[in-house]
Amino acid sequence: GDSVTQMEGPVTLSEEAFLTINCTYTATGYPSLFWYVQYPGEGLQLLLKATKADDKGSNKGFEATYRKETTSFHLEKGSVQVSDSAVYFCALSDDNDMRFGAGTRLTVKP
Amino acid sequence: EAGVAQSPRYKIIEKRQSVAFWCNPISGHATLYWYQQILGQGPKLLIQFQNNGVVDDSQLPKDRFSAERLKGVDSTLKIQPAKLEDSAVYLCASSLDPLTGAEAFFGQGTRLTVV
């Protein structure tokens, strides 16, 4: 079945550092790909998405590009802030359902 | 626009008791999901509805879990009897049409503790 594999955390960075969180997927069809974020004490919310190959999703300085050839959707941000500290989940959605990775906890220190 | 509503927010029960969770999705969203999120893990899909029909319930422990979505709007998820390992946050989400790449919107979740 379809699945999502995320880079294991936790990840700890200093403010203004570069962030990459790796995400790869397996799917039989052509899924849509998402990054969701869960801030402390809050519910899951969409960060960005891409619905077809080579699409780039972006929001709040975060970016991810749908790479069909490497089945990847890595999340990047050029300069992280303390307020980016959260758990990040990669997810895919296809004909059948929406599945999530295990999540990567990011802590950004001042 | 009102979001996905879930209740209760918290529930503590003893093992072998039963419990029910309620979800009201965003108006007009045909797709409704129930997820189980154990502490430190990603959400695990339990069941997906399209209107009032079940699309996927392959990961629902059907000996103890049941869910329904009468009239294709509100949904309830029930656990009977509960086990210690059912302690988790139960998330409800809804979506317009996942086939078009529409994202899922999540409720705040119900945190269940089984003691």
Instruction: Give pLDDT tens digits for B26-83.
Output: 999 999 999 999 988 899 999 999 988 999 899 999 999 999 998 889 999 999 999 9
**Record: contact A98-B45, CB cut-off 8 A:** yes
pLDDT of A29 higher than 90: no
Q: Which of residues 18-37 of A touch B (CB under 8 A)?
A: 32, 34, 36
Q: Which residues contact A25 (CB under 8 A, 6 or more apart)?
A: A2, A3, A4, A5, A31, A33, A71, A72, A73, A90, A92
**Record: contact B42-A101, CB cut-off 8 A:** yes
Q: For position B1, what pLDDT does the model report?
A: 61
Q: Is residue B106 classed exposed, middle or buried when 0-12, 13-18 and 19+ CB atoms within 10 A define those classes?
A: buried
Separation CA A101–CA A95 (nearest Å)? 18
Taking one residue from A and the other from B, the number of pairs with CB-CB distance under 8 angstroms is: 59
**Record: contact A98-B44, CB cut-off 8 A:** no
Q: What is the arithmetic mean of pLDDT over A20-39?
A: 93
- pLDDT band per the 50, 70, 90 thresholds, residue A61: very high
Residue in A6, A46, A98 closest to B33 by CB: A98
pLDDT of B100 higher than 80: no
Q: What is the arithmetic mean of pLDDT over A2-14?
A: 91
Residue B55, chain A, CB below 8 Å: the answer is yes
**Record: contact A43-B109, CB cut-off 8 A:** yes
Question: Which of A69, A70, A7, A67 has its CA nearest to residue A33?
Answer: A67
pLDDT of B2 higher than 90: no
Chain B residues within an 8 Å CB radius of A73: none
Residue B27 gets which letter from DSSP? Answer: T
**In Å, how far are B45, B57, B107 from B90, measured between CA atoms?**
10, 15, 9
Separation CA B55–CA A93 (nearest Å)? 13
Spatial contact of B37 and A38, defined as CB atoms under 8 Å apart: no
Residue in B42, B55, B107 closest to A89 by CB: B42
Question: Percent of chain A, pLDDT > 70?
Answer: 99
Q: Phi, psi (5° rounding) for residue A13?
A: -130, 160
**Record: contact B99-A44, CB cut-off 8 A:** no
Q: Which pLDDT tens digit goes with each residue over A39-50?
A: 988 889 999 999
What are the beta bridge partners of residue B24?
A: B5
**Record: contact A98-B108, CB cut-off 8 A:** no
pLDDT of A56 higher than 80: yes
